Amino acid sequence: MRRLECDDDARQALLALQAGVVDALLAPPGRPPSQWAPEGLKALPGIRGALPQALGTYRGHARALSQRALRSIYPRLRERMEAGAPGSFAAIAWSCWRHHAPVQGDLGDWGQALIGQLAEAQADGLPPAWTALARLEWALHRVERIADPVQDLGSLALLGRLPAAAVRLVLADHVDLHRGDDAAMRELLDLPPECFGTGPREAVIVWRDGWRGQWAALDASVLGWCEALREGADLERALQDAGPAFDFSAWLPAAVARGWLARVETL
Amino acid sequence: MRAGATLWPVAVGVGWRQPHYREVMATGAPGIDFLEVHTENFLAPGGATRQLLRDAALKFPLSLHGVGMSLGSAAGVDLGHLKRVRALVDEVRPGLVSEHAGFSRVQRAAGMAHAHELLPVPFSERGLALLATQVDTAQQALGRQILIENLSAYVAWEEDTIREPEFFNRLAAATGCGLLLDLNNLHVNALNRGLDDDAAVRDCAAWLDDIDAGAVGQYHLAGHAQVEGMVLDHHGGRVAEATWSIYRHALGRIGARPTLIEWDAEPPQLATLGEEAARARREQGAFERELIAPPPARPAPRSPSRRRQTQEAGHAAP
pLDDT for residue B240: 97
What contacts B147, CB < 8 A, 6 or more positions away?
B96, B97, B98, B99, B177, B178, B179, B180, B217, B218
Instruction: Give the CATH superfamily of B12-313.
Output: Divalent-metal-dependent TIM barrel enzymes (3.20.20.150)
pLDDT for residue A2: 59
Q: Residue B247 in 3-state DSSP?
A: helix
Distance CA B166, CA B211 (A): 7
User: A189 and A127: one domain?
Assistant: no
User: A118 and A57: one domain?
Assistant: yes
Rounded mean pLDDT of B167-188?
Answer: 97
* Phi-psi category of residue B167: left, alpha or beta, with phi > 0 → left and psi -120 to 50 → alpha: alpha
Rounded mean pLDDT of A217-224?
Answer: 96
Contact residues on chain B for A62, CB-CB shorter than 8 A: 115-117
Between B66, B115, B174, which is nearest A1 by CB?
B174
User: A106 and A227: one domain?
Assistant: no
**Nearest-CA distance B197 → chain A (Å):** 13
Distance CA B155, CA A39 (A): 12
Strand-pair category, B34-38 with B12-15: parallel
User: A193 and A69: one domain?
Assistant: no
Strand-pair category, B147-149 with B96-100: parallel
User: A137 and A210: one domain?
Assistant: no
Distances (CA, A) of B109 to A25, A55, B136: 14, 20, 28
Contact residues on chain A for B194, CB-CB shorter than 8 A: 44-46
Cβ contacts below 8 Å, chain A against chain B, sum to 203
Answer whether residue A2 is part of any domain.
Answer: no
pLDDT for residue B153: 97
Domain's final residue, options A120, A145, A170: A145
B81 within 8 A of A104, measured Cβ to Cβ: yes
B17 within 8 A of B267, measured Cβ to Cβ: yes
Give residue A238's domain range.
153-266
**Nearest-CA distance A27 → chain B (Å):** 12
Distance CA B312, CA B293 (A): 38
**Nearest-CA distance B188 → chain A (Å):** 11
ipTM of the complex: 0.91
pLDDT for residue B306: 46
Contact residues on chain B for A5, CB-CB shorter than 8 A: 129, 133, 310, 313
User: A158 and A225: one domain?
Assistant: yes
pLDDT for residue B304: 43
User: A19 and A44: one domain?
Assistant: yes
- Cβ A3–B310 below 8 Å, yes or no? yes
- Cβ B126–A14 below 8 Å, yes or no? yes
Domain's final residue, options A110, A145, A180: A145
Answer whether residue A166 is part of any domain.
Answer: yes
The one-letter amino acid at B55: D
- Cβ B193–A45 below 8 Å, yes or no? yes
Answer whether residue A127 is part of any domain.
Answer: yes
Euclidean distance between the first and final Cα of chain B, in Å? 36
Between B78, B107, B116, which is nearest A107 by CB?
B116
Residue of B nearest to A101 (CA): B113
Domain ranges of chain B: 12-313
Distances (CA, A) of A252 to A170, A196, A258, A261, B21: 12, 12, 10, 8, 36
Into how many domains does chain A fold?
A: 2
Between B109, B170, B315, which is nearest A11 by CB?
B315
Contact residues on chain B for A97, CB-CB shorter than 8 A: none
Answer whether residue A7 is part of any domain.
Answer: no
Which among A26, A35, A134 is positioned nearest to A78, based on CA atoms?
A: A134
Distance CA A34, CA A37 (A): 5
Answer whether residue A6 is part of any domain.
Answer: no
pLDDT for residue B305: 45
User: A124 and A164: one domain?
Assistant: no
Answer whether residue A4 is part of any domain.
Answer: no
User: A94 and A39: one domain?
Assistant: yes
Give residue-wise pLDDT tens across range A87-121. Answer: 999 999 999 999 999 999 999 999 999 999 999 99
**Nearest-CA distance B46 → chain A (Å):** 4
- Cβ A41–B155 below 8 Å, yes or no? yes
Contact residues on chain B for A67, CB-CB shorter than 8 A: none
Grade residue A1 by pLDDT with cuts at 50, 70 and 90: low
A31 or B303, greater pLDDT: A31
Domain's final residue, options A118, A145, A172: A145
User: A124 and A23: one domain?
Assistant: yes
- Cβ B192–A108 below 8 Å, yes or no? no
pTM (2 decimals)?
0.91
pLDDT for residue A40: 96
Distance CA A76, CA A89 (A): 11
Contact residues on chain A for B155, CB-CB shorter than 8 A: 21, 41-44, 51, 54-55, 58
**Nearest-CA distance B193 → chain A (Å):** 4
User: A42 and A133: one domain?
Assistant: yes
